[in-house]
A and B are shown apart, each in its own frame.
Chain A
Amino acid sequence: MNISLEPARLLPLDIVRLAAYGLRARPLRVVLSALGIAIGIAAMIAVVGISTSSRAQLNQLLGELGTNLLSAGPGTTMFGEAATMEPEAIAMVGRIAGVEAVTAIGLLPEAKVYRTNRIPPSQSGGIAVYAARLDLLDTVSARIAAGSWLTPAPASFPAVVLGSRAASRLGIGSSLIGQPIWLGGRWFTVVGILEPVSLVPLLDLSALIGWPGGKAFLDFEGDITTLYVRTDPAAIESVRALLARTANPEQPNEVDVSRPSDAIAAEAAADVAFTGLLLGLGAVALLVGGIGVANTMVISVLERRAEIGLRRSQGATRGHIRLQFFGEALLLALLGGGSGIVIGAIVTAGYARLQGWPVDIPLWVAGGGMAATLLIGGLAGLYPAMRAARLAPTEALSAT
């Protein structure tokens, strides 16, 4: 039979209204089950946001410090002893095409640092003493936190500049610039303190004295521990290839060449693996949130049988009932997902700010969060919606 009646119709806008109405009637339940989704999404957004912000910070740092620094340190000899390089290496490396600056430090293995000469010798605090070339500061992008760097004049005076951690171990703050410390069996005056040196962290726990000062006051013979080389960024690989052979032509295998910025880049990469793990945890939280939504919707269908029956008597088709409950589940998930994104963004911004990082929440993360929410909400709403639609109108109406 061909029915001559105009079919029952539900306007799209009314589906949204129905979903909102269903949720408004039970606010506490809505808040609690949306919270499950919100926590999952917020966790995922925060994990990704914090990790990308941290990477943005590292990249910014790399941009500032430059990735064109190479270090060449003596490795070990074939017999396992610490190797050194001859002082001439500085001049030889400086002649490699593409090298912009060369500087060096030399370890004084016997010298120990104490706050005063009354400290027992065993309490040296692990601070290493290096003789430093004056161009060290610029070449490794180090900055002075307080006082000043070694200058040509004090290079022959007993002056010392402390790394940041060395200064705090000795209990020397910026107000104590000009104080004497007991270094290598004589008094040196602290003229400056460095900020933490990102590219060469070993300087943080060091006491740096001038190259001539080392020779004049301590038994420094001028042997190089590590060379630091700034290159033309385009020439870094070619310089790297020549560096070991140039620095120690007789025993090139005793020279360890590395690129300090690689350590920072590796840190950023290591972060990715860790982020994956946390992201998985966030996904589990989201899944649990989805189950919460499904649970809420199943209960809602059971409680609202009379409403379903009434709607059927008013002309709602099975499809309309299905749409209503499916829409309600989607809206519930969207509420959770939306607040999750906001919470995640706030947590990310707060944490990044605390760390002094730039805030970086990629758009794909927010989009992905929203897509995950819709997927979870849809899956969670599917079964309850079908169940509501299958309910026979008579059965639904008798449930008063």
Chain B
Amino acid sequence: MSDAIISLRGVTRAFAGGVFGLRDVTLEIARGELVAIVGPSGSGKSTMLNIIGTLDRASSGTVEIDGHDVARLKDSDLSALRARRIGFVFQHFHLSPGVSALDNVADGLLYTGVGRAERRRRAEAALDQVGLAHRLGHRPHQMSGGEKQRTAIARALARRPALLLADEPTGALDSSSGEGVVQLLLELHRSGTAVVVITHDRDLAARLDRQASMRDGELVDDRRRTA
């Protein structure tokens, strides 16, 4: 098994009508790395997220996630990959309304085939990890934006993914809640998870170890922070 959790070689994603989401992108991200994919809107960041997250397939080129060549996997194998290895965090949280934080997190484990009691136990541990042990029974509308995003992170965490993909995780939050979320992501990285943050926020990107910059579907810059 290779060292790379993500390996893109010459990846192009073309959409109908001659629009390119990605053009000939080659990018390798190692296990446990902390990377920002940064760029203005329309730069292809979201396409990148979808390709890396195996939610979309490349038109050409090779995509390997966690050592698996995505092009050669069936839908059920891709689902298994997502269920076991990849966690997603979205800008708008995607929490189920009317469902407690505990059950929102526990439902993130639904497709791992684990029984409900065990899901809840793991969910409680994950919520504790993100500092929401006191909010187990709260529903999304009773929580602040920061708490909602931390719940969403706990949901991704509960599956103990090798790769966490965060799409504008602070985009819908004020700066202090955003800071809490950033700290949480940094902490996750320290515990060994590869964290990829997709953002247009250069200040946020600058705080991560590595910044891959995108423009018009191409990777235009890839630099590491010199500590």
Contact = CB atoms under 8 A, between A and B. Distances in A.
A319 B84 CA distance: 17
B207 interface: no
Contacts of B73: 1, 3
B68 A315 contact: no
A311 to B, nearest CB: 7
B79 A8 contact: yes
Contact of A11 (B92, B108, B115): B115
A79 B124 CA distance: 101
A163 to B, nearest CB: 69
Size bracket, chain B contacts? 35 or more
Size bracket, chain A contacts? 20 to 34
A5 interface: yes
Interface string A365-399: 00000000000000000000000000011100100
B90 interface: yes
Given A11-B115, A320-B111, A392 B56 contact: yes
B90 A397 contact: yes
Contacts of B84: 5-6, 8, 315
A3 B75 CA distance: 12
Nearest to B113: A9
Interface string B98-137: 1100000001101111011000000000000000000000
B111 A315 contact: yes
Contact of A318 (B75, B96, B110, B113): B75
A312 interface: yes
Contacts, number: 107
Contacts of A21: 99
A11 B111 CA distance: 8
B174 to A, nearest CB: 20
Contact of B110 (A3, A14, A393, A400): A14
A8 B76 contact: yes
Nearest to B75: A318
A8 B113 contact: yes
Most buried by A among B83, B99, B116, B159: B83
A8 B94 contact: no
Most buried by A among B56, B68, B80: B80
A3 B68 contact: yes
Contacts of B110: 10, 14, 18, 311, 314, 316
B72 interface: yes
B55 A3 contact: no
B189 interface: no
B72 A8 contact: no
A317 interface: yes
Contact of B83 (A11, A315, A392): A315
